[in-house]
Amino acid sequence: MTHIMVDLETLSTEPNAAIIAIGAVKFDTEQGIYAKYYQAVASPPLDELVPMVEDGNGFHISADTLEWWKQQSDEAKTVFRDPNAQTIKSALANFKAWALHETELDEIRVWGNGASFDNVILSTAYKMVGVDQPWKFYNDRCYRTIKNVAVNKREIVRKGTHHNALDDAESQAEHLLAMNVRLA
């Protein structure tokens, strides 16, 4: 199995939220974290964004989320000026290639922080841009559920910048592994 912890930074909490960064790590109980992916998605600067039901591509931008972003650290907000940002379609295609590298579609398990957040938003984005997602829908996994019901609870140890997609994905995967959860 290939387990992938995903963390998205978005401009909304809706299923069609505009994604501004994709962070992911591949991990297992033997190797821990063994591969990383990060890609910022092209977005106007934070102070130029306006709430809208849909941007020109059908993605949602929320007033509440924009206000929330304005309260985040300067380090977290660097995502809005990342010189390596790509279009959402390119970011999703590159994530797919990374996820499927040396593994089969049926072997990928995608973990997100919440049954209705990361995986749902990522899956919706793939549909919206016309690219097949790199996992089967029945291989979605929910990190938030596990951390709330685990017998072997642990406190999460945050790495790097809070609300940096890669740093958060790495912190979440390490937290999941620290709880000695059987990965299937």
pLDDT digits (tens, 9 = 90+) for 51-102: 887 777 889 999 999 999 999 999 999 999 999 999 999 999 999 999 999 9
pLDDT recorded at residue 70: 97
Q: What is the mean pLDDT of residues 132-139?
A: 97
Q: Is pLDDT at 21 greater than 90 in this prediction? A: yes
Q: What is the mean pLDDT of residues 141-153?
A: 91
pLDDT band per the 50, 70, 90 thresholds, residue 181: confident
Output 184 or 103, whichever has higher pLDDT: 103
pLDDT recorded at residue 152: 85
| Least-confidence region, from 53-57, 79-83, 118-122, 179-183 | 53-57
Tell me the domains of the chain and their CATH numbers: 2-178 (3.30.420.10)
Q: Is the pTM of this model over 0.85?
A: yes
Per-residue HEC secondary structure of the chain comes to CEEEEEEEEECCCCCCECEEEEEEEEEECCCEEEEEEEEEECCCCHHHCCCECCCCCCCEECHHHHHHHHCCCCCHHHHHHCCCCECHHHHHHHHHHHHHCCCCHHHEEEEECCCCCHHHHHHHHHHHHCCCCCCCHHHEEEHHHHHHHCCCCCCCCCCCCCCCHHHHHHHHHHHHHHCCCCCC
